[in-house]
């Protein structure tokens, strides 16, 4: 049940503080190309505070005034970092938010906890909803290859990443990718990667491009994903055969059928494969 007395006191305190900040906010937004209105900045701070009683709103505003939060558009990043901070506050080196002076400091502090699940969230992995919305291609211990079938599943498994397909604020691009082909999420060695065959997109947790040719995780991925998925990979691009260790003859044939030059990446091809490549 909401404590309306506490809520009203909190609102009065905020409004009083905002009056005190008014002129400073006006001056501050003049140096922010993403902000144009003081009221919107205040409303943005409130909506970016992930707590029910808005205990971080004043910190957001003060940090923004001090340029610890560089731009108004960074409030969405601030919200995500605050969610992690609040969730794991007891484990943080600084448990008082007011000891943290900038968004970058907050993000550095919570980075080790991003994607970490609470006990309640661990149980939700096994829930029927998540199971139904996820295809597990491979699973061994904490190493997983999966395909999210819905935006909700993509957001769940993409927690702690910067992927647009896992965005919970702003536009989520999952549907756009999923219409073209399955989106693979790889969890290996405690790290997350995202691979989309149709767009040759392979990203790490920070949404940075990874080199397919030199990345050991992708070699492991193609090895574990099974013949059906391997066939899809080489049928999309014959050169993908180079990432598959000990491909079956069926996969080899599919690769050279797509591109005869793919035979250069096949060790000890059969006569049948060589004949097809030379046609």
**Predicted local confidence at residue 45, as pLDDT:** 92
The Cα-based distances of 16 to 12, 22, 62, 149 in angstroms read 6, 10, 14, 47
Run of H or E residues at 145: strand 143-148
Domain spans in the chain, listed from the N-terminal domain onward: 4-113, 115-225, 226-279
Does 127 or 40 have the greater pLDDT score?
Answer: 40
How confident is the model over 166-220, as pLDDT tens digits? 999 889 999 999 999 999 999 998 899 999 988 888 999 999 988 876 678 888 8
Rounded average pLDDT over 117-126: 66
Contacts of 76 (CB under 8 A, 6+ apart): 48, 169, 170
pLDDT band at 233 (very low <50, low <70, confident <90, very high): confident
How confident is the model over 68-120, as pLDDT tens digits? 999 999 999 999 999 999 988 888 999 999 999 999 999 999 998 887 776 66
Residue 83: CB atoms within 10 A of its CB come to: 17
Distance CA(82)–CA(51), nearest Å, equals 9
136 within 8 A of 146, measured Cβ to Cβ = yes
Q: What is the pTM of this model?
A: 0.52
């Amino acid at each position: 049940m909401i404590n309306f007395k506490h809520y009203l006191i909190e609102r009065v305190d905020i409004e009083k503080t905002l009056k005190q900040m008014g002129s400073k906010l006006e001056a501050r937004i003049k140096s922010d190309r993403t902000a144009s209105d003081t009221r919107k900045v205040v409303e943005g701070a409130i909506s970016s505070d992930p707590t029910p009683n808005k205990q971080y709103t004043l910190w957001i505003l003060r940090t923004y005034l001090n340029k610890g939060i560089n731009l108004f558009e960074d409030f969405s990043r601030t919200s995500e970092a605050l969610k992690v901070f609040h969730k794991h506050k007891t484990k943080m080196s600084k448990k008082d938010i007011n000891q943290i002076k900038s968004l970058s400091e907050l993000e550095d502090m919570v980075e080790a906890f991003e994607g970490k699940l609470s006990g309640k969230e661990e149980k939700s992995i096994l829930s029927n909803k998540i199971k139904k919305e996820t295809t597990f291609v491979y699973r061994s211990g904490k190493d997983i290859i999966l395909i999210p079938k819905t935006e909700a599943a993509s957001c769940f498994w993409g927690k702690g990443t910067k992927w647009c397909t896992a965005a919970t604020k702003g536009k989520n691009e999952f549907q756009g990718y999923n219409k073209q082909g399955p989106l693979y999420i790889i969890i290996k060695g405690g790290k997350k990667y995202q691979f989309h065959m149709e767009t040759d997109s392979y990203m790490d947790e920070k949404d940075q491009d990874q080199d397919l040719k030199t990345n050991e995780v992708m070699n492991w991925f193609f090895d574990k994903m099974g013949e059906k998925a391997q066939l899809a990979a080489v049928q999309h691009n014959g050169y993908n055969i180079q990432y598959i260790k000990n491909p079956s003859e069926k996969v080899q044939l599919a690769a050279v059928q797509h591109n005869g030059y793919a035979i250069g990446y096949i060790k000890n091809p059969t006569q049948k494969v060589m004949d097809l490549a030379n046609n």
